[in-house]
Chains A and B, each alone.
Chain A
Amino acid sequence: EPEVTQTPSHQVTQMGQEVILRCVPISNHLYFYWYRQILGQKVEFLVSFYNNEISEKSEIFDDQFSVERPDGSNFTLKIRSTKLEDSAMYFCASWLGLGIEETQYFGPGTRLLVL
């Protein structure tokens, strides 16, 4: 069964450093998402991406964040200058985007720790 994959599974970085989190969505899906889950808190929507542009973003997704689909298979989330409060589990998800099939399929997540 097709699945969403994410790399790395864990990343430790120093405050102020740039990080890039990578995701490979399911191949025929059209919509891609990033969510995050700060330890002990609920999963929060960051951004959705369709047709090579951002279709929606939350107030969390400020100028330090960016997303890209560089090569037709990868979907990346870049944090330009990490802060301590960026420490969280980051989930990528993808959605077919056709018909009534609404399920978003999630990857296993990347646990980011900012020191």
Chain B
Amino acid sequence: AQSVTQLDSHVSVSEGTPVLLRCNYSSSYSPSLFWYVQHPNKGLQLLLKYTSAATLVKGINGFEAEFKKSETSFHLTKPSAHMSDAAEYFCVVSSMDTGRRALTFGSGTRLQVQP
């Protein structure tokens, strides 16, 4: 079985300050991990993914995430928040080894960016 826990349902930061969105995963096999972003009334856009290559993954819009197997974590960071980063962020896991292609989503973290 696989699962994802996003530790914060809401995060509020000031524009220009760092962003940290926390995610822990559970998977019986080698996981693939993703962060998707959902802007209001929009679809799901892939930010970045980890698929067993480099543990530090860089994505779009200045976001990056680090896969830490010992901590079963895949936290999303950005050095400096922009107003346009305000959105819902989903940490997602899939485990190819089981043949299960379906994605398992976390419950989401709503990021607010204050001016």
User: Which A residues are within 8 Å of any B CB, using their own CB?
Assistant: 31, 33, 35, 41-45, 48, 55-56, 58, 91, 93, 95, 100, 102-109
Contacts and interface: CB of A to CB of B under 8 A. Distances in A.
B43 A95 contact: no
Interface residues of B, number: 22
Q: Is the interface of B mostly helix, strand, loop or mixed?
A: strand
Interface of B: 32, 34, 36, 42-46, 49, 51, 90, 94, 96, 100-108
Given A43-B105, A100-B51, A105-B46, A56 B32 contact: no
Contacts of B94: 102
A3 B36 CA distance: 15
Contacts of B104: 45
5 contacts: A35-B105, A56-B102, A58-B102, A91-B43, A105-B46
B87 to A, nearest CB: 14
A100 B30 CA distance: 13
Contacts of B101: 31, 33, 48, 55-56, 95, 104
A56 B94 CA distance: 14
A106 B43 contact: yes
Given A102-B51, A102-B94, A106-B36, A45 B44 contact: no
Contacts of B42: 108
A108 B43 contact: yes
